[in-house]
């Protein structure tokens, strides 16, 4: 029996450290993916809210709020200057801003367009 050279169990601390590091990396990847998804949802909701408010300029704030809510967002701010609208929405921790401008009317209908 060799009492002084017992190497059993030397790998256990290294494996434990690697498992902890792998779990931390997995948590970071999942958190990043959720944040990216929230950001995409926020931008979609902001674009839809801005376009909806330009279509109905008389009641734009209400339309923007409804469209934001329909896309799972909360309308944080609404600013209208003439035919231009800027909205800010929030989905979870992500915020997005969108602007839309009503094109000059030709006939009875105006067609809005969005720009980032």
- The 10s digit of each residue's pLDDT in 69-88 is 999 999 999 999 888 899 99
Tokens of 54: 């330009």
The model's pLDDT over 37-70, given as tens digits with 9 standing for 90+, comes to 999 999 999 999 999 998 877 888 999 999 999 9
**Residue-range domain boundaries for the chain:** 12-115
The reported pTM is 0.71
- Residue 96 clears pLDDT 80, i.e. is over it: yes
The DSSP letter of residue 109 is B
Q: How distant, in Å, are the alpha carbons of 6, 50, 63, 64 from that of 93?
A: 53, 20, 23, 20
Q: Which of 44, 67, 41, 72 is nearest to 54 (CA)?
A: 67
Stretch (H or E) spanning 107: none
């Amino acid at each position: 029996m060799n009492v002084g050279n017992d190497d059993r169990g030397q790998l256990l601390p290294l494996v434990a450290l690697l498992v902890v590091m792998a779990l931390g990396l997995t948590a970071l990847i999942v958190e990043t993916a959720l944040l990216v998804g929230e950001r995409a949802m926020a931008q979609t909701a902001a674009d839809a809210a801005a376009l909806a408010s330009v279509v109905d300029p008389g009641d734009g704030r209400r339309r923007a709020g409804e469209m934001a809510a329909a896309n799972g967002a909360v309308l944080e701010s609404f600013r209208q200057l003439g035919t231009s609208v800027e909205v800010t929405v929030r989905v979870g921790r992500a915020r997005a801003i969108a602007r839309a401008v009503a094109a000059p009317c030709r006939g009875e209908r105006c067609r809005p367009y969005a720009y980032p």
